[in-house]
Structure 1
């Protein structure tokens, strides 16, 4: 049977009904009350607003208020003026959408903790990453991007209890390592911080150590690394030479190194020599990302 494109009304009806299957009406209403979106009884339910502006296959951003009100009238028998609907697009509405998104993300995770990952000296396992993409030009006054308008989404979750710690929408131009510095105050003793290379700065690693927490982070290939000799002198490691001596696929650990110009002590540096196939994939991924960000190749 051929696939038929759903009409706006059918799309809205299915998404609204699906939200009720995933979240109970009481759950959505409680979120809406917490965010001050729902302050009095109304036929226009939080699930209708969420389906209308968040899960409409981009149609809600193209439809006028009059058209959206028509959908509400025909599919939910809800009579709402264009001004009444316009007033729902406010800070409380934005907060409600954020909370629903957070809940949906957590729905994809396991419902039970992971006892096999627990360790007496690790309190939380925090994983932070970001993604960015461009937006239509009419968002330019709100979000700035590399070429026009764009956003960056920062998401951090805790692996043991499946808790969402941070979900922040920024300009696409905002830096990952700056965001890492901004959330330093949330790090607790015995936290294990797992981050990608974009968040790396020696100042941040030092702050994590001072907070008596742990970290796992990718390092730049041109890292300045030192070890101490028997006379307590710093001896620079030639990382490139070490990598040349390693076999394809080999992993090597170097303990008690000192990194960067400030010679920050790092308990362990792990080197892994990629296969040719892995190297090719990473180069293609890097080139694609740099072209997307406006880097020219000659």
Structure 2
């Protein structure tokens, strides 16, 4: 097969991006498993668990009590009754997720997400990254959370994005579309939500805006898939706030893998440069 034939481009254009997207969308699930299997993270969850459940239940109960049936009735004007009930459910859950995320992330969870993210990076061996923003004590404690000192610089897991919230609300009507509306909503909102989950990573690496944009552009589909699964988990009633913390673990795991790749690449480049700089007489 010719190297420049259309068929030869299929792996590069279709297969590899699909595999990369599949790997990326598994990270939120890895984050849940990681959180469950690493008890040092539990205290960070316990501190936020009761407020998370109470806030989620309060918001969802009120939304389903006052807005669910009117929205289903409106959807039934354009859709089959079964589809209207399903899409109405996702519509209310999406509204609830937006409201709870604004309240919870703004006032309760961001500091905990930073601690989860940093603790996972420390556990994975990237103390040097975390030390750019906070002290990390020696390994004698054998507990990454307890090794974390107070941040010495302003530390935000994900910046408040009015644009993301506005897009989330404006795209909610996509749920009116029978059957395909919900997946479309998740992917289009995931486009923005995915990269924001690595805001902390970008800050730890001191990437400026241009560097961040270039980094995200190279991984746009991966971030979109990741963001779609992340938002899907946010639509699960009551547990959505727990998944905010597991999402911090998942984004840290992904960041750790990206760091391993980046540093391995730097080592290869340095070795290649050292080889080229070697005098000809010393070459074997």
Give the TM-score normalised by the residue count of structure 2: 0.28
Give the TM-score normalised by the residue count of structure 1: 0.26
The structure with the largest helix share of the pair is 2
